[in-house]
Every structure is written in C-alpha cells, then in structure tokens.
Amino acid sequence: ATVSVLYWWFSFKKEEVDPPPIRISHMATEPTTIKVESHMSISSITFFQMIVDKNKDLLAKEGGIAGVLKNLNADPETGITSSSVEQRIEVYGKNELPEEEEVTYWKYLKDALSDKMMILLIVLGTVALVIGLTTPEQGKSKVNYSQGWIDGTFIIVAVSIVILVTTINDYLKGLKFQALSRLTAKVPFKVRRDGKIVTIDVAELVVGDIVLFQGGTYVPADGLFLRGQGVAIDESAATGENDDKKKDTEKDPFILSGTNVLAGVDGEFLVIGVGEKSFSGTIEMNAREKGKRTATPLQEKLDDLADLVGKVGIAVALVLFVTLALISIIKAKVNNDHYEFKLLLNYAIVGVSIIVVAVPEGLPLSVVIALAYSMQAMMRDNNMVRSLAACETMGTATSICSDKTGTLTTNEMTQIKAFIGGLVTKDYNHNGTNNLNLADLHDQLSERARNMYLEAIFYNSTATKIDAPPGTKSKISADGKIWSGNKTEQGLLRWAERAAGKSVLEYRDHIPKENMRVYPFRSDKKSMTTLVRRDDPYLGEKVVQYTKGATEVIFQNAKSYLDKEGNVQPMNKEFLDEAQQHLKDFASEGLRTLGIAYREFGDHKVEFPEEDPFDDNLILIGFSAIQDPVRDEVPDAVASCIQAGVTVRMCTGDNLDTAKAISKQCGIYTENGVAMEGPVFRKLFCEDEAKFMEMLPSLQVLARCSPLDKQLLVGNLMLLGEVVAVTGDGTNDAPALKLADVGFAMNDGTDVAKKASKIILLDNNFVSVVKACKWGRNVNDNIRKFLQFQFTVNVVLLIITFIGAIKDAVRSGGDGEPPLAPIHLLWANLIMDTMAAMALSTEKPNDLLLTRPPTYRDAALISNRMMRFIIGNSIWQLAIMMTLIFDGEKLFDTSTDLSYYNGTAPYDPTPSDEYDHDKDDQKRLRTVVFNVFIFLQVFNWFHARKLYDEWNFMEGFGRSPFFLPIVLFVSAVQVFMVEVAGEFMETISPGGVRWGVCMALAFTILPYGMLLRLVPVQEPQHQQKRLDHGMEQTGEEEEEDEGEYSAHTKLQMVMDVRKQQRLLFKGTPVKAERVRKPWELALRNVQRKITVVRAFRGPRGSTLATPHTSGLSSHVKSNLSSLAAMATGG
C-alpha cells in the first residue's frame, strides 16, 4: 500500500507536465453586491428556441440583432463590461457542463467494496473470526482466545489492504485523468471586453460576449453573427446537411455551438447561449449515461483473457472444495470421528482465495498504469494524448501519412526569389546575409509591374503584424511587433516589406475596411482572393481583384500577363515555356511556388459579391519561390521508421517536382517508390481500382494533395490492413484525422483539426510522431511482460494449491490444508497484481524498439516466446515446489521430536500437545514453501523484463525507475512476515541455514531462465488482415466508445469516402440528406457518434457515452419539445 501511494503520488503529483500555457486575461470584477438591471430580459429558453429553429420571426420580435445587443447591454465595438460578468453568469449560467462523474475517494472505495470476491472473503473472514472465538480447536476442550481471533482477523486485514491499494490506485488514476482532461479542455478565445480585445478560456465565455473568430475555429457557444468576410460554417455535425452554411446578418445569422468554421476573416458573433442552455450542451446532457466507462482495445482483449483465466480458477476452486469435503467426510466415517463442520469453512476460504489469485485483475491494472505513465511521459516528448487508445494503437502502426509544412520542415517560410514580368529576381535571405531592397527591383522592373506585385502580396493576405504581448517568445521585429497568421504568407510579406521598404500595416491602413473584401483560401479552388476598391494612379477608379494560389491553377486561368514594363500582354507559348522552365528549376531546388495574378472591374461602385469571383480571365503578375528547410532531425527519424517496418508517406500541396525534391531530402522518396499528383491519384482510383490497389503500397509521395485525396489514401491503406497514422493542421484535414487509426494534429493547427485528432503534436515535429510510435510499442511490450509473469504465477499457484491440499487431506491427521495459507495466497496476489504491474509496466522505451517490425493489432496476446517463458518457468517452479511439498519435511528437517516439544526434558505429551506439535511442523514446512515460492517470483521478475531472446536480463534498470525499489520492498516485507509477523502470517522462523537453502533454490530460476532462451522458437509469419476481413460472415456491429470507432464503422467510413470520390469524379453531386427537424438531426448524430460538442471536454463533459437507442429518442424529443413549448408560452 505504501509503495502504491508513493508511486502514484510521485508520478502523478510531483511530475505533472503542463502543456504550453494559454495566456488568460483575467478580468477584474467588482466585489460588490450585484445590481440586476432592467436589461437581460430575454430568457435563455427564448434564445434556445431562436437557435434550434433558426427562428428569424422570433429574432425580429426581439428587435433583431440590434435589439438583442441592446437587451444584453452589449456593444458591438466595446463588448461588455467585466463588472457585469458575474451577473450574466447568474442569469444565463456558465459555459461549462457539470462534471459527469465527480472523482471522490469514497466513490472508488465503494467500487472496490462492491467486488463480489472481496465481499465473500470478508464474510468468510468474519465467520472464521466468530468460530475462532466460540469453538475450540480440534483436540482441545477450551477456546483459545489468545489465538482464535488471528485467522479471521488477518483475512479481513489482508482483504482491507487489497481494497485500500485498489482504491488508492483508482482514485489517484481518476484524479490524474481528470487533470489531463482539464488541460486538454482549455481553449483560448478572443472577446471584446471593456473596449479591449482580450483572451479568455472557453469556460469564461458568458452571454453577451462578442467573440472574434477565423476559419478553422470551433464554435464554443450559440450566437448571432455580427460581421465577417467569407464566413462559412460546417453544420453537418448538428444538422446533417452537407452544404456549407454562409453566414450573414440577414439570411442566416444563427451560429450553433458544436459546429466548425470552415472559412472566414475578421468574424465576430454575439454569444446568446452557453453551457447546458446551448444547443450542443442540451444534446449532450440528454445523451449522457451515468457511470459508463470506456476501455481501450487492449484492455478489452485483456478483460476477455482475464475472464477466461478467472473461469478456470473458479472451476479449480469448486473441484478442490468438493474434493476436500468428500475426503474429509469419508475419513470421518472410516474413523468414526465427529465431523468438524469448521473444515468446510476452511475449504471455502481456500477456494475463494484461489479464485482471488486466479482472477488476474492485474491485467487491466497493468494497462491503466502503462497507459497513464506513458501519457504523462509522452507529454514531455511533445505528444498531448487525447485518447488512451492512441497510445497502444501507435505501437501497431505500419504507415504514417505526414504533412510536409511544419512537420517534416521547419515552417520558417522564406521567399527566396520571384518571377515578375518575365524576370527572376536575385536570391534573398531574410536573415540579412543576402538583402533585397527597392533598388534591386527598380533596376529590373517598371514601377507599375513592381507595385502590382507588391500590392498583390500586401492586400491579398490574412497574415499581419500585431503588438508583441508581454513575455512573448516570438521574434520581435524592429517596429516592436510580431507576425501572426499563415506562415507561408508571413514569408511573402517579409520579402515584400524588405523590397518595398514599407510595413504591411502602412500599405493596408490607407484602404478603409469597407473598400476591401477577403475571400479566404479554399482547398477546392487552391486559391484565395481579395477585392479592393481604390483610386489607383495606374488603374484609375476601379475594383481590383488580387488572386494567389497553386501555380498551375493560376497559369490555367490566366489569359494574359504583365510584362516587365507593366504592360498587359496576351499569353503566348514563348512566355509559357520560359515560365515553365523556371518553375522546374525552382522545384528541383526544393522551392515551393505560388502564382500571383490580378483582374480589373471597370465599375468603381460595383458591389462585392458573396462568393469568390475567381474566374479564368486573370492577368498573371508572376510567381513567388518559397523555401521551407527540412528539419535537421527528420532524415534520421524517417530512417528509424523504415527500419521499424513503418512506411512514411508525404502528403503535400506542392507540385510534383518540389515534392520529390523535398521527400528525397527527408529520405522518404526512394528509387523504387511511386510519386504522383492528386488528380492522377483520383483518376486511377476511379478508372482502374485493381491497378490502384496494387500501386498503393509503393506510393511514397502524394503531391497537389487535397483533403479528400488524403482521406482516400488513408481509407484505402486501412482497407489493405495497414494501421495508419496521419498528421494534419487544417480544418479540411479533420475528416482524415478522424478516419485514421491515430490522428496527429499540429499545435499550430485549427481547433477543428485538434478536436478531430487523438494526439496533438505540441512542437509540430515529425520526430514527435516517431516518439509516439516508440511509446506505443513500449506500452504493448510492458503489458506483455506483465502478462507472461502473471500467467506463470497463476499456473504454478493453481497446481500446487490443488495438489498440495489433496495431499494433506489424504494423510493421516491431515485437514486438507494447502501448501500456502489463505493469507499467503493474498500476499502472493498482491505481488502478482499491483506490485508486478508497477514493476513491469513502467519501463521507458529504448531505441531497440524501432529495430523490430510492428506487432500487428490482431496478433495473439501471447506470442510463442511468451509461451516458452510461461511453460518453461512453470515446469521449473513446479519441480521445486512439488519436491518441497512431498519431501520438504526430510530435506529441510522441519519435523521435531514430540518428547521435547514442551520443554527441555522428555515428558508425556497430551492429545492437545500432539495436535499443536503437528501444526507447528506443518507451519515450519509451509514457511519454507511460502518463502521459496515468493522469492522464485521475485527472481523471475528479472527474466520477465525481457520479451525476446536477450541474454542480459540486468540491462536497462535505468529505464525502470520503480523496478529495483519494488523488488527490495517485496523482499523486505517477506523477511518481516516470516521473522517478525509469524503469528499473523502463520509462519515460523526457519533459521539461518534454511533461509540460505530457500534463497539458493529460488536463485536457480535465473540461470535456468538463461538456458531456457536457448530453446529455439519460431514466431509465425503474420500478415495484417484487411479491414473488411470476416465482416460478411459476422454481420454484427460492435459496441463503440466515444471517440473510438469499431471495425464495422471504420469500414463504412472508408466505403463512404470511396463512393464520394467516384461521384465527384463523374461530376455527380453528393446528395444531401433530407431536411429534418433540428432535434431529430441532433439525436441521430448523437446515436451515430458524431460528437456535436468538443468545446466542453474534460470537466465540462469528458465523455459523450454511447446512448442506448431504445427510449432515448422520446426522452430527447420530449426535453427539446418542452423547451420549445415554454418559449412559445404553450
């Protein structure tokens, strides 16, 4: 118990690892009595009805958006006052859900006490205590009150210790998981308060807040749209409708919590519903199931195995009980003795003790310890684990599909050169070693050509400069500001600033916001556009469209180009050939290119359209060549993956030549590998699937990769039986992240991508993915180490208990006592479960883990090498133990002369003395057996640390911080139990000689274990099964946990992606689902495990449990309908 407490305390309390801090601007609130004003008269139910039905009539009744702002005392420019926050919480509530299940010590104590075997042992211990204090022992006429209480009391004490250890383990584990949930739940949002833009945590949002958002944001509360450019929201998770919803103040201002912002610039919305009273909060509260816990796939496998072993243990216990009872009854009849019914109680205690020992509850515990320990350690390796199953799944990963930018490369974008007006500028290094200035461009380009290029970069970008907050670690520029936004655009803007000699802010400030409209980057168009209404000395009063994007897209849609003199020329073959040659040269250098173009609208007063006006009549200005260096550590990490049997594939938006050049630098693209672009990839799949599937294992580089291409790649690899990990950072990466076995989101990525992932890369580095793979393999290895150790103990313990008890029952005067007393069995159970789990499940990984092929997820839990360990060590231990049981009395000279039993001189013994003498001799032999058995397990721990054919079982103690302390602790407690606690532990000090022989016998397991490794073992050649293997035969769907999908669901998701690709290739639109009522849609998505709330993770609703479909529909419907009725007065 002490070791357990210390372990959990130091590992979970002392070594807490915090994620990168979120700067929270805490608002000062007045500590005075709240004055309730006449405002805020609109009820939360009215707001709910407004959102759930998108009821514009109800909004109009409240005075429209302006009326709601006034009622909530919120200003669209200054926001709310921080002094009103407390009042708003009182009226509308907090933006958090109540904890689904509070972590309390008493709760876990109750759970531990509810274990049937523990209850049975307590009952039997109590009965033994009562009988011991009321019934004389056999051969005696009086009750021995000095010792009669010992058996029953110590059974109860031993059970109490087991319950205490279990409770403390579970309680501290629960506290740690709750803390991790709280850390992952922290999401910062910018709001307007007191006339300033401040950053607060999602839980601090209140009704009336003005929330600022961009594309990629996850909507944390219900709201009304106020302003923003090009805002499109994916509401499929809440409504089931596939089309993106464009938001404006007139047609559709309603913003539902739990949805994703796909695109948008400078967006702001007014919060009108939070926490339980929001759309997603109401759905989750109705869908919750109390007390349901999720288990990882490995835990489920081990639970099944534990159930099987437990059934064997129960069968052995029942057979033993019946056998001993029959033998004792027959002996009493033959000898005409009075039958001692107390024997049945003793047999029952032995039987239950066997069950307690046989049921390997330590298996799930080892998984919990291994996963919890790994989660904490992985945080230090820059992996924030959001799903326990991800730890173990990464150990079976066979394929990693990685983004390029920021993952394989440094994401320090630098524009090296540019192609403008048919000329290539000189190279530029932003560190200042190769400077660029306006004079360089002036000598080569006309003023108009130069300015058009610079303006296209300055205006058509969402990246900008902001004031550096206190304590920032980002690089501060000379003007005291830092860059914010897209890293690619930052590289373009740094180049443009250097070339123009002006700041981006100086360029943009003289254009009023109403004269500029931004259409954010869309992956389907591979471009972004900005419209600017301006009075230009070259263009006159016109609206100018600036567009940038993939070079081939810009070239395909450009009908003319701007020459170096600034004149518009029709596109011709000579210019195209020259440009294409430069593109190839840039690509061969590993440079990424972006096309820059513009278009003019003659009418200065033309209204800005809602949709991106991109068309095929562009005027090409040129293209930029950007460098993103490969991280120094990536080539070695990729080589480690290849050695470990894990295929690394690069998915990038770059053109094919650039992708090949960079992938070669990384060590991904090899001579026999395949590299292709997304359009070719899709076409091959749709036209020749057989050839596509044959090619897929060789694919190493996918260039011009769209999000749907990544989904198609991941899905088909999974269909082939691969265990796929994928990285992503954008909103459109979310489907692939959710589809993959393990999704890695970049810490710099969008909220939507993070919520869809299972692990967040805090340093955005591919090396961290490799570390996660190493930790995953380590988890699987550690659990198997514990598994082979415990199975060995189980086999030996069951056999010696059964045979030893029968042997004692048939001898003259024997009562059928097993070689180990019940208290010994409980101590052995503690060693086997808690101690062994902590000793063997906490070893840290080493580099050798990546020199072996992965362990496939459908491989057997017990390998042939593990079977060799279990059978071989069981045989040796049984040989020693059986020798002690049958001949130990002679070998150890444990019998004494009865004539000298009661003193120094011979005397005439009484029947009571004979009984006591016989019991002492048995106890002395039992002590030897107990001692040898325990130390056999202690020495066997050393061999159990090695799963393969390693000879040096002493290697790696530095990676096992708890192993040696636990070995010393168990050894010290064993000595104490034998030498000091004899009365309680039913032991007698064996003496120095017998101690030496005990240790020598136990030590023989070490050289024997080394010889055992010489026995040749061949592991079967394993081939990963296809995802659809056996699906047709079973036809049964598996139960799913939140955030995890069964094989059937995964297969259906893959098939949906494949079908969608074929429809898109044929030009057939993907049919939207029929329009349903909001409560129907929300309910359906809860039932289908489409999580509609991710902003309320951890303490604000850590689990969206699987609802039982029966009865839930009417329950949710009635709740939502009643709210609607209350809102309408009905």
Catalytic annotation, residues: 403
* Pairing verdict, β 618-627 and 592-601: antiparallel
The answer to whether the CB of 268 falls within 8 A of the CB of 229 is no
Q: Which residues of 232-258 are buried (b: 16+ CB within 10 A; e: fewer)?
A: bbbbbbbbbbeebbbbeeeeebbbbbb
The Cα 118–Cα 556 span in angstroms is 75
The Cα 865–Cα 784 span in angstroms is 11
- The full DSSP string for 208-225 is T-EEEE-TTPBP-SEEEE
Secondary-structure percent of the chain, ordered helix, strand, coil, rounded to 5: 50, 15, 35
The answer to whether the CB of 306 falls within 8 A of the CB of 363 is yes
Distances (CA, A) of 646 to 722, 850, 1061: 10, 9, 27
| Among the listed residues 479, 499, 484, the one whose alpha carbon sits nearest the alpha carbon of residue 430 | 499
Residue entry with tokens 């019934």: 135
Q: Which residues of 577-600 are buried (b: 16+ CB within 10 A; e: fewer)?
A: eebeebbeebbeebbbbbbbbbbe
The answer to whether the CB of 739 falls within 8 A of the CB of 1054 is yes
Burial of 1063 (0-12, 13-18, 19+ CB in 10 A): middle
The answer to whether the CB of 355 falls within 8 A of the CB of 822 is no
Q: Tell me if residue 528 falls in helix, strand or coil.
A: strand
The Cα 865–Cα 779 span in angstroms is 18
The answer to whether the CB of 526 falls within 8 A of the CB of 653 is yes
How is residue 141 written in tokens?
């006429």
DSSP at 75: B
- The full DSSP string for 393-404 is HGGG--EEEEES
In the beta sheet, which residues pair with residue 997? none
The answer to whether the CB of 932 falls within 8 A of the CB of 1001 is yes
Cα-atom radius of gyration of the chain, to the nearest Å? 36
The contacts of residue 513 (CB under 8 Å, 6+ apart) are none
The Cα 173–Cα 542 span in angstroms is 65
Q: Tell me if residue 846 falls in helix, strand or coil.
A: coil
| Among the listed residues 3, 1, 167, the one whose alpha carbon sits nearest the alpha carbon of residue 962 | 3
The answer to whether the CB of 492 falls within 8 A of the CB of 624 is yes
Q: List the 647-651 sheet strands across, edge first.
A: 383-385, 759-761, 742-746, 724-728, 399-403, 647-651, 699-703, 674-677
Residue entry with tokens 């400078």: 266
| Among the listed residues 1057, 159, 307, 383, the one whose alpha carbon sits nearest the alpha carbon of residue 686 | 1057
Distances (CA, A) of 921 to 582, 616, 898, 916, 981: 96, 100, 10, 9, 18
**Cα end-to-end span (Å), the chain:** 60
The contacts of residue 996 (CB under 8 Å, 6+ apart) are none
Distances (CA, A) of 558 to 28, 561, 600: 55, 7, 13
Q: Which residues of 1019-1033 are buried (b: 16+ CB within 10 A; e: fewer)?
A: eeeeebeebbeeeee
